[in-house]
């Protein structure tokens, strides 16, 4: 189906944030088009957990029950000081409809969202890349390139992507949910500067190795952080923080295929190296622990856009912010941002507000992310905080699986107060 030349909202990027934005807009009666540069959704993906607030957002579009049925409920977070457990937190915000965090791979979430979009009559226009944006008085003109496969070569066939057709789409608003390399953000000329040091993790999947409803966060004396997420099917995802040289290129399986996570590809890690890391960081594993299903080395950056947008063009999700992987904060915040934007656009379309609603969105979300990235304010230990918690307060900020008021409630269980600066 071709992309219409006129719509109320153009959403750029069909990951979970973009799909939920389009779905929330359609549920509110706005005409929406969704374009994506990739030719299909991702297979493997890093993001794999939904916070209680995200489940509430899915409930607004009738998807929470299906998500819960497909995922693994996690009700407890245990903090470890190396091999020693130091604190246990309940992952249940006061009065929450969903008193747990849900482990659900991003690919499974995208399948649910895509199916619901189809039921609402919204198509994902795959292989459509944003080329430029031209803001006008009451609209935004987006130039879009439709990509087509082109076979090249003689003895060995090779497939590349080329621009098959250029389109113009006039939209009242544009929502950029197109990830870390966001073309929408670049079209706005917004810097995407470092907001803190990056982290390198060995990421792997294996048999669970811990109770199904428990999330484990291990903070080592050397300052590294590791996190164990239980998955459906008695599996688990480990993210083991390492120094970049700790797993060198020579220790990788050069002959094996790469694994795709989101938009990027990564080399597998040598199994012996991975097993050694597991025994070091997770001593409760026996020496005959099962081999990892797949394992890779990933660098996670901390970045924040100079703003979340302006005028009729706004950002949500990884297009505006990146952080470490332990608390799964970036995708979950993105889902909340997508829903928030949809609600504000509905109010504007109904004559119950102007563009100042979007400017408020930008200010509020920037303030929240300056806090989450440690740029303004911090978690502060009170008298009830243990010595272990007080010592690792700054590290815990990005490791707790929550944002906003839910994060403050979770931190309070171990004697921490959210000072937002």
HEC assignment per residue over the chain: CCCCCEEEEEEECCCHHHHHHHHHHHHCCCCEEEEECCCCCCCCCCCCEECHHHHHHHHHCCCHHHHHHHCEEECEEEEEECCEEEEEEECCCCCCCCCCEEECCHHHHHHHHHHHHHHCCCCEEECEEEEEEEECCCCEEEEEEEEEEEEECCCCCEEEEEEEEEEEEEEEEEEECCCCCCHHHHHCCCCEEEEEEEEEEEEEEEECCCCCCEEEEEECCCCCEEEEEEECCCEEEEEEEECHHHCCHHHECCCCCCEEECCEEECEECHHHHHHHHHHHCCCCCCCCCCCCEEEEEEEEEEEECCCEECCEEECHHHCEECCCCCCHHHHHHHHHHHHHHHHHHHHHCCCCCCHHHHHHHHHHHHHHHHHCCCCCEEEECCCCCHHHHHCHHHHHCCCCCCHHHHHHHHHCCCEEEECC
Contact between 370 and 304 under an 8 Å Cβ cutoff? The reply is yes
Average pLDDT on 28-41 reads 92
Residues 155 and 13 in one domain: yes
Q: Say what the pLDDT of residue 288 is.
A: 57
Residue 335 shares a structural domain with residue 279: no
The answer to whether 418 and 402 have CB atoms below 8 angstroms apart is no
**Rounded Cα–Cα distance for residues 364 and 276 (Å):** 44
Cβ contact 239:227 at 8 Å: yes
CATH (domain of 225): 3.30.70
Same domain for 213 and 283: yes
Average pLDDT over residues 360-377: 97
Please say if the pLDDT value at position 258 is more than 50.
no
In this prediction, residue 203 carries a pLDDT of 85
Is 288 in the same domain as 203?
yes
- Whether residue 282 is found in the same domain as residue 341: no
Same-domain pairing of 163 and 205: no
Does 270 have pLDDT greater than 90?
Answer: no
What pLDDT, on a 0 to 100 scale, did the predictor assign at position 254?
Answer: 33
Q: Which of 249, 278, 300 is the last residue of a domain?
A: 300
Position 58 in a domain: no
Confidence at residue 248, expressed as pLDDT on a 0 to 100 scale: 41
Per-residue model confidence (pLDDT) at position 249: 40
pLDDT in tens, 100-150: 999 998 999 999 999 999 999 999 999 999 999 999 989 999 999 999 977
CATH of the domain at 163: 3.50.50.60
Q: Do 220 and 281 fall into the same domain?
A: yes
- In contact, 267 and 241? CB cutoff 8 Å: no
Query: Which of these three, 300, 332, 361, is where a domain ends?
Result: 300
111 and 245 belong to one structural domain? no
Position 262 scores a pLDDT of: 42
Domain, as residue range, for 133: 6-48+105-191+306-371
How many Å apart are CA 187 and CA 234, to the nearest integer? 44
Residues 321 and 176 in one domain: yes
Residues 230, 212 share a domain = yes
Interatomic CA distance for residues 19 and 15, integer angstroms: 6
- pLDDT tens, 212-222? 899 999 998 77
Whether the pLDDT of residue 12 is over 70: the answer is: yes
Regarding whether 263 and 147 lie in a shared domain, the answer is no
| Residues 152 and 213 both lie in one domain | no
Residue 406, domain member (yes or no):
no
pLDDT, tens digit (0-9, with 9 covering 90-100), for 140-194: 999 999 999 776 655 555 557 788 889 999 999 999 999 999 999 999 999 999 9
The answer as to whether 395 is a domain residue is no
Q: What percent of the chain has pLDDT over 70?
A: 86
* Model pTM score: 0.91
Strands 6-12, 32-36: pairing kind? parallel
Q: Is residue 335 part of a domain?
A: yes
Cβ–Cβ contacts within 10 Å for residue 141, how many? 16
Q: Is the CB of residue 397 less than 8 Å from the CB of residue 421?
A: no
Task: Please report which confidence band the pLDDT of residue 409 belongs to, taking 50, 70 and 90 as the band edges.
Answer: very high
User: Which of 268, 300, 332 finishes a domain?
Assistant: 300
Flag whether 87 is in a domain: no
- At 109 the three-state DSSP class reads helix
418, part of any domain: no
With respect to residue 90, please indicate whether it lies within any of the assigned structural domains: no
Distance, CA of 320 to CA of 291 (rounded, Å): 37
Output the pLDDT for position 352.
Answer: 97
| Better-scored residue on pLDDT, 51 or 267 | 51
For residue 62, being part of any structural domain is answered with no
Count of structural domains, the chain: 2
């Amino acid at each position: 189906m071709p992309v219409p030349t006129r719509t109320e909202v153009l959403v750029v990027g069909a990951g979970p944030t973009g799909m939920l934005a389009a779905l929330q807009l359609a549920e509110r009666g706005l005409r929406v088009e969704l374009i994506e540069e990739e030719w299909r959704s991702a297979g493997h993906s890093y993001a794999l957990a939904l916070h209680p607030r995200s489940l509430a957002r899915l409930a607004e579009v009738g998807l929470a029950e299906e998500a819960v049925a497909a995922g693994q409920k996690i009700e407890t977070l245990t903090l470890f000081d190396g091999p020693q457990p130091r604190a246990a937190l309940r992952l249940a915000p006061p009065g929450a409809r969903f008193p747990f965090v849900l482990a659900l791979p991003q690919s499974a979430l995208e399948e649910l969202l895509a199916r619901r979009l189809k039921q609402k009559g919204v198509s994902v226009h795959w292989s459509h890349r944003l080329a430029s944006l031209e803001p006008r008085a009451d609209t935004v003109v987006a130039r879009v390139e439709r990509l087509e496969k082109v076979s090249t070569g003689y003895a060995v066939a090779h497939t590349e992507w080329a621009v098959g057709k250029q389109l113009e789409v006039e939209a009242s608003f544009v929502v950029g949910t197109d990830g870390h390399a966001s073309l929408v953000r670049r079209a706005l000329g917004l810097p995407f500067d470092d907001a803190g040091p990056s982290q390198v993790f060995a990421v792997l999947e294996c048999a669970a190795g811990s109770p199904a409803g428990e999330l484990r966060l291990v903070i080592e004396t050397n300052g590294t952080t590791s996190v164990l997420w239980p998955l459906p099917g008695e599996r688990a995802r480990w993210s083991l923080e390492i120094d970049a040289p700790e797993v060198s290129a020579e220790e990788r399986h050069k002959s094996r295929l790469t694994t795709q996570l989101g938009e990027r590809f990564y080399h597998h890690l040598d199994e012996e190296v991975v097993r050694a890391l597991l025994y070091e960081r997770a001593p409760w594993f026996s020496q005959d622990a099962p081999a990892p299903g797949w394992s890779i080395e990933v660098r996670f950056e901390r970045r924040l856009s100079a703003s979340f947008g302006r005028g009729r063009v706004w950002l949500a999700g990884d297009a505006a912010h990146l952080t470490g992987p332990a608390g799964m904060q970036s995708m979950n915040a993105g889902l909340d941002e997508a829903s928030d934007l949809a609600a504000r656009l509905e109010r504007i379309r109904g004559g119950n507000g102007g563009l100042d609603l979007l400017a408020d969105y930008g200010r509020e979300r920037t303030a929240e992310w300056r806090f989450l990235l440690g740029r303004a304010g911090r978690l502060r230990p009170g008298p009830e905080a243990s010595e272990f918690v007080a010592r690792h307060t700054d590290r815990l900020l990005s490791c707790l699986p929550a944002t906003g008021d839910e994060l403050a409630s979770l931190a309070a269980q171990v004697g921490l107060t959210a000072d937002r600066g």
